[in-house]
């Protein structure tokens, strides 16, 4: 990866559908990634370490809250720009994109959408620059696909609430300065609140031993009678639609992002197929290898058109949660298949860290699970087209 020769692939001239600003943003992020991340990402993944020094740079390129308006410190870009940024980051590593999409869609988005003006001013500008890092606590040890069953809860105690419970599998948790947490009040209604590092009884143990997203920090959020000021509660949002609306934004970013990982695997396999000689010929001249490449670029092209159209709908506020769900599921699935096929094309070299494919493949095993598993997204589409709820 240190020798990053990625150039992008655009078989159907989808670039014609982008503005000059979109292309400039892509170039800026790609250059930053090649200079700052490609040379180090394999080493950080191998040692399972989060490259925390990149946070400031991610802020500078606008990767934190790309669509958050300037009055709150964001660059105020459109949704396609947000997608392009996520794609360029995940082209390098899904963990890098995870850090940015959690900060953008799961921390800044709910603060921007549901917080008071004072809360927005307190947190958004510092999150935009990377001075503060955030995380999002929805999943619990016993409630993953079914977050409605959560047991984390708080009780009213005058000017503050007392929070108890635990969240699991939380991206950014070990380094986060603040956590957007979803918990039930005394009536059993889901509410959102911001828990700050340093509050007594709040700890964030790291999750060790992951074979996936090794360059992204994952941890738990443990709340043991944490006193959270009422000023940290989101005032008006109630129920599961609060956290699920954040997931719409994050899943949209993942649909673009996973395509980046697919493009990088295809790019690597295509180049390798022209350079690797077996039986006296480049392996790319064998029909079975060409079949793999032809199928990869076909699926990538379909996925590019899907996210572009979704971006247009999202800019118009017309993208439904179900449409976003379909794009997340499809694009992660094709990325995972592309990674598996590309890895085979590199033979033994495909399992080494000299090429990015195995790392992408292992990362994508998390991406296909988080933000709603592949099967949960199938059921979302199933319910949408039949009208029957197959969840319960």
263 Cβ contact list (under 8 Å, min separation 6):
6, 8, 9, 87, 91, 300
Distance, CA of 389 to CA of 392 (rounded, Å): 7
Residue closer to ligand FAD by CB (options 30, 251) is 251
Q: Is residue 148 a contact point for ligand FAD (CB under 6 A)?
A: no
Binding residue for ligand FAD (CB under 6 A) from 222, 244, 349, 376?
376
Residue 270 CA: distances (Å) to CA of 198, 252, 285, 301, 360: 50, 28, 11, 15, 16
Decide: 227 and 157 in contact? Cβ < 8 Å: yes
Token pair listed for 364: 């994508």
157 Cβ contact list (under 8 Å, min separation 6):
227
Residue closer to ligand FAD by CB (options 139, 331) is 139
Q: Is residue 331 a contact point for ligand TGC (CB under 6 A)?
A: no
Q: Which residue is associated with the tokens 């009422």?
A: 230
Binding residue for ligand TGC (CB under 6 A) from 56, 281, 390, 391?
391
* Beta-strand pair 178-184/134-137: parallel
* Residue 90, SS3 per DSSP: helix
Q: Least distance to ligand FAD from the beta carbon of 240, Å?
A: 13
Q: Least distance to ligand FAD from the beta carbon of 223, Å?
A: 14
Q: Least distance to ligand FAD from the beta carbon of 167, Å?
A: 6
Binding residue for ligand FAD (CB under 6 A) from 206, 285, 373, 381?
373
Q: Is residue 152 a contact point for ligand TGC (CB under 6 A)?
A: no
Q: Is residue 240 a contact point for ligand TGC (CB under 6 A)?
A: yes
Catalytic residue among 42, 90, 341, 371: 371
CB atoms within 10 A of CB 126: 17
Q: Is residue 107 a contact point for ligand FAD (CB under 6 A)?
A: no
Binding residue for ligand FAD (CB under 6 A) from 169, 223, 272, 355?
169
The count of chain residues that interact with ligand TGC, using the rule CB under 6 A, is 26
Q: Which residue is associated with the tokens 């994952």?
A: 218
Q: Least distance to ligand FAD from the beta carbon of 93, Å?
A: 13
Token pair listed for 310: 């979704």
CB atoms within 10 A of CB 18: 18
Token pair listed for 152: 């984390």
Distance, CA of 191 to CA of 110 (rounded, Å): 12
Q: Is residue 134 a contact point for ligand TGC (CB under 6 A)?
A: no
Q: Is residue 223 a contact point for ligand FAD (CB under 6 A)?
A: no
Q: Choose among ligand TGC, ligand FAD, none what residue 195 binds, the Cβ cut-off being 5 to 8 Å by kind.
A: none
Q: Least distance to ligand FAD from the beta carbon of 119, Å?
A: 20
- Is 371 an active-site residue? yes
Closest to 184 in 3D by CA, of 225, 140, 150:
150
Contacts to ligand TGC from residues 87-106, by CB under 6 A: 98, 101-102
Active-site positions read 371
Contact set with ligand TGC (CB under 6 A): 98, 101-102, 136, 138-139, 145-148, 171, 239-241, 244-245, 247-248, 250, 321, 370-372, 376, 380, 391
């Amino acid at each position: 990866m240190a020798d990053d020769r990625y150039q992008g692939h655009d078989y159907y001239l989808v670039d014609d559908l982008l503005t000059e600003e979109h292309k400039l943003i892509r170039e800026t992020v790609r250059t930053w990634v090649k200079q700052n991340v490609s040379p180090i990402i394999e080493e950080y993944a191998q040692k399972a370490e989060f490259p925390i020094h990149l946070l400031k740079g991610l802020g500078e390129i606008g990767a934190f809250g790309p669509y958050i308006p300037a009055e709150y410190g964001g660059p105020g870009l459109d949704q396609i720009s947000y997608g392009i940024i996520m794609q360029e980051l995940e082209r390098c590593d899904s963990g890098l994109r995870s850090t940015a999409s959690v900060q953008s869609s799961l921390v800044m988005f709910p603060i921007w959408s549901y917080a008071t003006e004072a809360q927005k001013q307190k947190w958004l500008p510092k999150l935009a620059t990377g001075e503060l890092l955030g995380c999002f606590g929805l999943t619990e040890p016993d409630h993953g696909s079914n977050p409605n069953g959560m047991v984390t809860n708080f009780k009213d105690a005058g000017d503050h609430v007392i929070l108890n419970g635990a969240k699991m599998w939380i991206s950014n948790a070990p380094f986060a300065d603040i956590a957007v947490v979803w918990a039930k009040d005394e009536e059993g209604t889901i509410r959102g609140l911001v828990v700050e590092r340093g509050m007594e009884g709040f700890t964030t143990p790291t999750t060790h031993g992951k074979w996936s997203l090794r360059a992204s920090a994952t941890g738990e959020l443990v709340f043991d009678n944490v006193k959270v000021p009422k000023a940290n509660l989101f005032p008006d949002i109630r129920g599961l639609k609060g956290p699920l609306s954040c997931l719409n934004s994050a899943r949209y970013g993942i649909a673009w992002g996973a395509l980046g990982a697919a493009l990088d695997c295809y790019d690597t396999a295509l180049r390798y197929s022209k350079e690797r000689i077996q039986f006296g010929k480049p392996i790319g001249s064998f029909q079975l290898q060409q079949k793999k490449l032809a199928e990869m670029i076909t699926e990538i092209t379909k996925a590019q058109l899907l996210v572009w159209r979704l971006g247009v709908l999202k800019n118009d506020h017309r993208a439904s949660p179900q449409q976003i769900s379909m794009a997340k599921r499809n694009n992660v699935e094709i990325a995972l298949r592309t990674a598996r096929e590309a890895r085979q094309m590199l033979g033994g070299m495909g399992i080494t860290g000299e090429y990015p494919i195995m790392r992408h493949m292992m990362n994508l095993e998390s991406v296909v699970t988080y933000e709603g598993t592949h099967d949960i997204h199938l059921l979302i589409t199933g319910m949408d087209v039949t009208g029957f709820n197959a969840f319960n």
